[in-house]
């Protein structure tokens, strides 16, 4: 489970520089301009207000403040709302980003008052989706008096407790800032986000550094596994050698047992020191065998654990790569839909484009090449000699030193030959061809041409 991020910062003036960053009137280096069109303003400005700077001033002008605003007084508080990078990607991929935005706006309205939230912009063109919200700190209630004011023996005229005041300090007390972190984490718990550790010094790392560290860990892990394999082989070789020694010692033990019986029967003349020594050595050998077997078992368990961890890390990397490909595929589909909608609008707003495209195909089918067709599409006359094909008559006709040009007739494009519509020109030439021959004319295919 990742963390919910709520960061608040005071600002003096109308914060025009931050407005330029939020509204992208300047291009930040860390922003992907190809995704800037996905950013959106989540709060509609009042009538006559066009941007964040004006929205701050509009709230100050209409809040009913009775005291003059000081030059250095805090007029707005910036609020950054986001979450852990992986969790924000998950929320986006699950199609829950719109709900996340709505819940953030509800939290801000419930906590600080809907009328005090003058702007909220969702940024999708940076690494992690986030919201820049703007809070004008209008509060109500009696102002807290300073200690020296309380000590002065004067009678202060009490003001109504519902008077609107501009006071960022009342909103950003230490206790309230801590409570915001608690309540915001509760509001975001439905998205798998939790409160950060109070006082934690943890820092975020970039995705590139994460992958680089992960590859280094993978390489180190593979090196450790290779070393453990070598240690395992060495231990197994030592175990085989010890087992051979144990077999030899078993024979010695049998001989020792026989010698012990003889020694006991003979008496204490020869003593039993050598027998005891062999027994001790035999016990040591057994302990050595047990130790080697435990070492091998431990190494095998460690190798299995490291291999499992390595497989898990590789699977995580593959899943992240698949998610990145899915995000890019989704973005590509969105771009295709956007371009399709743009093309449909273009055809709707400029219907003559469709007629021009049809005319271009007709000119090419008649027999004009690309360059000649381009001249005709610009409405310029074209001197032409060559064959022209009639789809109606299924044959080609020779055109010698003719002048072709495109005219418009009631919004329609008409291709003319020597100022005659090309259909009329084809019919006249077909009649002339029928009169010049004494036998019926068979339709001719386009591919064979006219002899």
Q: What is the pLDDT of residues 41-78, one digit of tens each?
A: 999 999 999 999 999 999 999 989 888 888 889 999 99
- Dihedrals phi, psi of 380, to nearest 5 degrees: -95, 150
127 DSSP 8-state letter: S
- Residue 299's pLDDT is 87
Write out residues in the chain with pLDDT < 70, as ranges. Answer: 14, 143-161, 197-227, 230-231, 238, 242, 245-276, 278-279, 438-451
Residue count of the chain: 451
Tokens at 184, concatenated = 């915001």
- Dihedrals phi, psi of 132, to nearest 5 degrees: -100, 110
- Residue 273's pLDDT is 60
CA distance 245 to 251: 10
**All residues at 6 or more sequence positions from 217 whose CB lies less than 8 Å from its CB, including other chains:** 313
Q: Which helix (H) or strand (E) holds 406?
A: strand 395-409
- Residue 266's pLDDT is 45
- Sheet containing 382-390: order of strands: 382-390, 395-409, 412-417, 420-421
pTM: 0.45
- Sheet containing 193-194: order of strands: 40-41, 117-123, 130-135, 74-83, 2-12, 193-194
Q: Is 109 helix (H, G, I), strand (E, B) or coil?
A: helix
**Residue 113 CB burial class (10 angstroms; 0-12, 13-18, ≥19):** middle
Contacts of residues 176-184 at CB distance under 8 Å and 24 or more positions apart, as own/partner, are 177/8, 180/6, 180/8, 180/111, 181/6, 183/107, 183/111, 184/4, 184/6, 184/81, 184/107
- Residue 43's pLDDT is 94
Q: Is 225 helix (H, G, I), strand (E, B) or coil?
A: helix
How many Cα atoms are found within 13 Å in the side-chain-facing hemisphere of 363?
A: 28
**All residues at 6 or more sequence positions from 266 whose CB lies less than 8 Å from its CB, including other chains:** none
Tokens at 391, concatenated = 């789809």
- Residue 140's pLDDT is 86
CA distance 98 to 352: 39
């Amino acid at each position: 489970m990742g963390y919910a991020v709520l960061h608040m910062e005071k600002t003096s003036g109308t914060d025009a520089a931050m407005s330029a960053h939020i509204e992208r009137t300047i291009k930040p280096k860390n922003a992907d301009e190809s995704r800037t069109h996905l950013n959106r303003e989540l709060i509609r400005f009042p009538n006559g207000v066009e941007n964040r700077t004006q929205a701050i001033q509009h709230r100050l002008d209409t809040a009913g403040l009775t005291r003059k605003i000081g030059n250095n007084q805090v007029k707005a508080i910036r609020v950054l709302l986001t979450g852990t990078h992986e969790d924000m990607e998950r929320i986006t991929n699950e199609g829950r980003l719109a709900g996340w935005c709505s819940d953030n706006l509800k939290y801000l309205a419930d906590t600080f008052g809907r009328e005090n939230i003058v702007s909220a912009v969702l940024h999708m063109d940076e690494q992690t989706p986030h919201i820049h919200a703007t809070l004008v700190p209008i509060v109500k209630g009696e102002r807290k008096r300073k200690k020296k004011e309380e000590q002065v023996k004067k009678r202060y005229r009490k003001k109504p407790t519902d008077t609107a005041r501009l006071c960022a300090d009342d909103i950003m007390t230490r206790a309230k800032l801590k409570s915001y972190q608690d309540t915001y984490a509760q509001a975001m718990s439905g998205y798998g986000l939790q409160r950060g550790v109070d006082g934690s010094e943890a820092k975020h790392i970039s995705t590139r550094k994460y992958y680089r560290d992960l590859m280094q860990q993978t390489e180190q892990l593979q090196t450790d596994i290779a070393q453990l394999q070598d240690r395992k082989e060495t231990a197994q070789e030592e175990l085989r050698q010890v087992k051979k020694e144990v077999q030899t010692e078993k024979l010695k033990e049998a001989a020792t047992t026989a010698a012990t019986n003889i020694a006991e029967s003979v008496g204490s003349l020869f003593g039993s020191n050598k027998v005891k020594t062999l027994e001790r050595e035999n016990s040591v050998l057994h302990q050595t065998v047990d130790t080697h077997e435990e070492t091998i078992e431990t190494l095998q368990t460690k190798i299995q654990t490291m291999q499992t961890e390595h497989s898990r890390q590789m699977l995580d990397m593959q899943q992240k790569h698949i998610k990145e490909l899915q995000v890019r595929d989704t973005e590509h589909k969105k771009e295709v839909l956007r371009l399709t909608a743009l093309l449909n609008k273009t055809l709707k707003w400029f219907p003559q484009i469709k007629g021009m495209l049809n005319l271009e195909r007709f000119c090419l089918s008649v027999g004009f090449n690309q360059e000649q067709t381009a001249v005709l599409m610009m409405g310029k006359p074209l001197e032409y000699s060559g064959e022209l094909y009639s789809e109606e008559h299924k044959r080609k006709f020779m055109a010698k030193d003719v002048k072709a040009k495109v005219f418009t007739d009631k919004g329609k494009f008409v291709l003319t030959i020597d100022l005659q519509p090309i259909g009329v020109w084809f019919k006249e030439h077909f009649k002339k061809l029928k009169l010049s021959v004494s036998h019926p004319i068979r339709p001719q295919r386009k591919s064979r041409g006219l002899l």
